[in-house]
Amino acid sequence: MKNVIKVIFLLVISVKGYSQSFDLAPFVLAGDDTSKLLGSYTSPMSKSLMYGLNGGWYTTAKVHKKLGFDLTFGVNIANAPNSDKTFIFNNDDYKFLSADIDGSKFETILGSDKTNVLNVKLEFDQEFADELGIPQNVFDELKKNGGIPTVTTEIDMPGGVAGDLPVAGIPVPMAQIGIGVVYNTDIIIRYMPTIGDEYSVGLWGIGIKHDILQHFGFVDKVPFLNVSVLAAMTNLTFEADLEDSDEAAGSDQKFEMTTKAYTVQLLASINIPVISVYVGVGYAGGTTDFALKGTYETAYYLDNPLTNVEEKYSTTATDPVSFSSDISGMRATVGARLALGPIKFFGDYTMQEYNTVTVGMSISIR
């Protein structure tokens, strides 16, 4: 996540080593480019997160007896395919950014740590002048005298973090409780209160698992076989306070990420003493929204050719960056569970766009 925030500051807020006379103003106009670039850079991270949040909802198709319960702890890792570890940077897709070689391959956040150089060129045009509130007659005089500058510089686009992870995926730890209620149905709850100060994260989720064999007469009597349906969703929020970053003047500055993941599945399991085998087939979807929130005050100083006096022009950008990512597709899971009394150990593998491994343990009563 620090890499994401770093890219935002590199592209939207500051150009390291550039003359202070340009301050921050030119980069107010780069918000659309920044959103587009970050969308490509972070896409595999958000996809891995969403696929991970959709995992670990069950270790059997069997439901609890009324008021029976289980407490489950696990971790899901959704592995990004090689095709999502890089992205192609096409210069025509950007207004202010370019690569030395059009069509260059850049690393995503789940790629290698190889860095790339991006060229930044921001021309001081009529749009920019209007943004800063420069009077038309002053701007015309600047144009006539050749006093309108073009900001050009380079920034280092960070590579990925694959070297810091066991696989090319985001580990998603999870704790949940399942409780048997009426009509052979389990309610499954995930919850983590919002914690943290400078960085804060919170999570909640709910799932419903319902036994369907009870509705098919004699089939309900087949020994060891259980079949049920599951519907579940998880909501995750992340927020980073940027007020103390000293990168730009303004207020209410923060970075927000909101992820919603959901799944609907048909489950089946063979439950015999000690060993159980379970499968699931269904659909998974989700959306992740990123946003740079708050106001960002920028300024530009130039000599007014009509008065020969240096004047300050400024503008404020509000919520300058936003982008999103989503997933949608079928999934199929196969897994096994080992029971040692009330304590159970489980592991499963899900085949989908980002193949996912889930392992964990649970304590189950009734």
User: Stretch 202-228: mean pLDDT, rounded?
Assistant: 87
Residue 314 has what pLDDT? Answer: 72
**pLDDT of 266-277, one tens digit each?**
999 998 889 999
Whether pLDDT at 59 is above 90: yes
If one compares 335 and 319, the residue with the highest pLDDT of the two is: 335
DSSP symbol at 141? H
Tokens standing for 149?
């500058």
Q: How much is the pLDDT for 247? A: 59
**At 295, is the secondary structure helix, strand, or coil?**
strand
142-155 tens-digit pLDDT = 777 766 666 677 77
DSSP string, 226-271: EEEEEEEEEEEEEEEE-TTS-SSEEEEEEEEEEEEEEEEEEEEEEE
Strands 116-123 and 104-107: unpaired
Statement: residue 57 has pLDDT above 60: yes
In whole angstroms, give the CA distance from residue 72 to residue 58. Answer: 9
Residue 287's DSSP bridge partners are 260, 326
Q: Using CB atoms within 10 Å of the CB of residue 179, give its burial: 0 to 12 exposed, 13 to 18 middle, 19+ buried.
A: middle
Give the mean model confidence (pLDDT) for residues 330-354. Answer: 96
Q: How many CB atoms lie within 10 A of CB 193?
A: 8
| Residue 310 banded pLDDT, cuts 50, 70, 90 | confident
Mean pLDDT in residue range 150-166: 77
- Would you place residue 199 in the very low, low, confident or very high pLDDT band (cuts 50, 70, 90)? confident
Model confidence at 228, in pLDDT bands (50, 70, 90)?
Answer: very high
3-state SS assignment for residue 23:
coil
Res. 25: pLDDT tops 70 = no
Cα 350 to its chain centre, rounded Å, is 20
Q: Collect all residues with Cβ–Cβ distance below 8 Å to 273 and sequence separation of at least 6.
A: 339
What is the predicted pLDDT for the residue at 275?
A: 93
The whole-number pLDDT of residue 328 equals 96
For the ranges 21-30, 50-59, 130-139, 267-276, the maximum mean pLDDT occurs at 50-59
Residue 262 has pLDDT above 90, yes or no: yes
Best-predicted range by mean pLDDT (33-37, 101-105, 197-201, 350-354): 350-354
